[in-house]
A and B are shown apart, each in its own frame.
Chain A
Amino acid sequence: MKPDSKHMISNNFPESDFFGAIQDEHKMALRETLLDLHYKESQNNNKYVISIMSWKVQSIAASIAIFLLVGASFLFNMNDSMTNEEIFGQYYTTENSILTVRSNTAAEYSPVNDGLKYFDQQNYEKALYAFELAPENVVAKLYAGFSYMELQQYDQAIEKFKNIIDQKDNLFIDQAEWNLGLCYIITNNTDQAKEILAQITNSNTIYNIRAQQLLEDMGNN
């Protein structure tokens, strides 16, 4: 039988099995080694595919390129590397509100819930006003950071994300670190961006792979 996901995600989640699995440190270490090897191999394969594709289309591309270069180079400044703004545009996505996954708390009145509702409506100024009414709330800080990003007020966003990271021991550090990195990119603080992204690549978060790709893209500049 395949592991029964319905069983695992039901209220009868077998916690003892789960705890047993994560306590097996030897097996966990072996799995991390495997995942790391597999990830690196996948990255190499992607580069290989791109290289082969480039080789195959080389002859066609060459003739087109010569034609374009002759004509277009008079008109445009040819530049292959992406600007920080382009990199940011490629990686930045508007976050979804957590209201959708915490419907049980959404009905309760609080400045944070109010702010999240405004955030969902893309009314970022009102959202910020509401979030400021709960200055110690981590969710409010995080979504205030996102709101500032949407309003392109990156310095204020940086302040919010740094505050979350400094606070430690909270559930939103991963998101704060990733978005802080993006804010550093768009504000041309490249060194600081690289530093935080390198930190993310050494973590086990969902942003790990994205951070590695982003660093590679930045490396091309």
Chain B
Amino acid sequence: MAKFSTERILAGIVENDRIVIQYVYDKYFASIKSYVLKHGGSETDAWDVFQDSLMVVYEQARTGDLILKNTFITYFYSVCKYRWLKQLRDSSPSQHEEFEYKNETELYGYNNYVVQLDEELEQEERVRLYQENFLKLSKECQKLFKLLAKGLTTKEITEELNYKSTGFTYKKRRLCKEQLLKKIKENNDNTLKL
């Protein structure tokens, strides 16, 4: 397997370079999964941890906020580990105190960074929930939501999608939203069962 430098990995993540992302996945996912499984999580938890952490790194690298003093993997492991401990802490308040100072400050040693990372991870969890479930929707609903997201009016969407009336578009919008909410709910129910 080819080896990539930290800079190349970060650039590859930002550019969605499949070879680099495959490298990161092949090299690091198994150990992250092993860590999560050892600490009471499931495979699904591990996959969520991996995704959210990678997206945080992507976001930081994209905006130029990330200047690594260590290797990519040292940093990435820290974020993954923190993400999992945060989930444990959030799901069980009694474990909060145990993890709070011992592990959170392990990252870079100062609280502001941890607060910022908390926010970034929460944001990525939400984005994952939206994007994953959006991708499970029918193509028609995806198209409709994309047009709504672009800010088109109901009249414009009706024309764009060749619907018979604006009333019909409203109905479609409601149905698509119902589909989305159902999937989000199922997703959360399944996560809670694990």
Contacts and interface: CB of A to CB of B under 8 A. Distances in A.
Given A34-B51, A173-B138, A203-B139, A8 B131 contact: no
Interface in B1-51: 13-14, 16, 18, 21-22, 25, 29, 47, 51
Contacts of A15: 148
Contacts of B155: none
A68 to B, nearest CB: 36
A79 to B, nearest CB: 35
Given A1-B90, A13-B181, A26-B62, A21 B131 contact: yes
Contacts of B149: 18-20, 22-23
A37 B21 contact: yes
Interface string A162-186: 0000000111111000000000000
A23 B127 CA distance: 11
A31 interface: yes
Contacts, number: 119
Contacts of A21: 126-127, 130-131, 134
B138 A174 contact: yes
Given A101-B182, A169-B162, A17 B13 contact: no
Nearest to B118: A1
B139 A22 contact: no
Contacts of B178: 101
A22 B146 CA distance: 7
B112 to A, nearest CB: 19
Contacts of B14: 26
B185 A5 contact: yes
Contact of A22 (B55, B90, B128, B130): B130
B159 to A, nearest CB: 13
B129 interface: yes
Contact of B128 (A13, A17, A31, A206): A31
Interface residues of B, number: 56
B132 A31 contact: yes
A37 B39 CA distance: 25
Contacts of A28: 131, 135
Ranked 10 nearest A-B pairs via Cβ: A19-B149, A5-B188, A21-B130, A21-B127, A204-B135, A9-B181, A3-B126, A30-B16, A23-B149, A3-B125
Interface of A: 1-3, 5, 8-9, 13, 15, 17-24, 26-35, 37-38, 41, 101, 169-174, 203-206
Given A27-B131, A204-B137, 20 more contacts: A9-B181, A13-B177, A17-B130, A19-B148, A21-B127, A21-B130, A22-B145, A24-B127, A27-B55, A27-B58, A29-B16, A30-B16, A30-B58, A34-B21, A37-B22, A37-B25, A38-B47, A41-B25, A171-B175, A204-B135
